[in-house]
Amino acid sequence: MRVLLLGGAGFIGLHLARRLLAEGHAVTLVDDFSRGRDDADLAAVRAHPGATVRSADLTAAATWAALPRIWDQVYLLAAVVGVRNVEGDPARVVRVNTLTALHLLDWVEPGQRVFFASTSEVYAGGVDAGTVAVPTAEDVPVTVADVTAPRFAYAISKLLGEAAFVHMGRAKGVAAVVGRFHNVYGPRMGADHVIPEMALRALRGEDPFRVPGADQHRAFCYVDDAVEAMLRLMATPAAGGRIVHIGDDTAETNIADLAKLVLRQTGTPATLLPLPAPPGSVRRRCPDLTLLRTLTGYQPAVPLEEGVRRTVAWYREWGN
């Protein structure tokens, strides 16, 4: 296949590129490198004869005019993500995430397969209000508690993208799959997400070891499993026009227990220091994967302990 990865130099994008290249596909990665890393991992992908890497601004119409329309599959992974980035500049979040999605929908050809990356953050308001059950299915109501709150800018931009790909995609004859990611983690993720952030602090020998939201629970999904789910969904005709969770419902863990696991994997003796959770974070998050399993037969393959071991090993070697 000929595959276009928009935001391909980012965390999930590069892992997906490696998998596609290993399977013999031709892959073009487009990224503005505002967050995607131009590092040794990307250099290895650049060196692959099946890969092309382009630097471009996906909010600019000229970028789309210059892209050929030859693709068997298109993945939209480009977005402004991360709590610090979202709260620091919510206007940029709305602009970049919305314009990129709408430009793609205007540009894509009827009949093409498109994947749109969404987020479990769309459930945050409902979980906090007690109106959304956990584990959470795709058909529960989504709630925006406060449209003016900076943190909600990300979820709002993704909900707009979901609606655009479902409705505009259907009208245009585009088979779009919307994947709502639930706490995907792994090597090369940056330093702002919970597992790599903990790993970096543990590797520095922090003691006492700070654990914000120690009593909260999350279900973490290793990135290789997320990639497997994406590829299965894109190969499943019945997934077109659907919103489907991507995650690992077998790995739900307490955040304090996660901290202990990270400390064991880094070999760091430290005393846990429980702290209040960051403002706006939900107490529990876990997906119901019934629809993903029904459509694709997906089962997560990487246990949390093994995924954390691989992640720690990467950060031990490469830092952030």
Contacts of residue 81, defined as CB under 8 A and 6 or more positions apart, other chains included, come to 35, 119, 154
Contact 126, 141 (CB under 8 A): yes
Per-residue confidence band for 320, with pLDDT thresholds at 50, 70 and 90: low
215-271 pLDDT tens trace: 999 999 999 999 999 999 999 999 999 999 999 999 899 999 999 999 999 999 999
Within the chain, strands assigned E span 2-6, 26-31, 51-55, 73-76, 113-119, 175-181, 184-185, 209-212, 217-219, 221-222, 243-246, 252-254, 272-275, 284-285
Provide the whole-model pTM.
0.96
List the one residue out of 219, 217, 80, 220 whose CA is nearest residue 157: 80
pLDDT of 38 over the 80 cut: no
> CATH for 79-318, among 3.40.50.720, 3.40.109.10, 3.20.20.150, 3.40.718.10?
3.40.50.720
124-135 pLDDT tens trace: 889 888 889 999
Contact 229, 294 (CB under 8 A): no
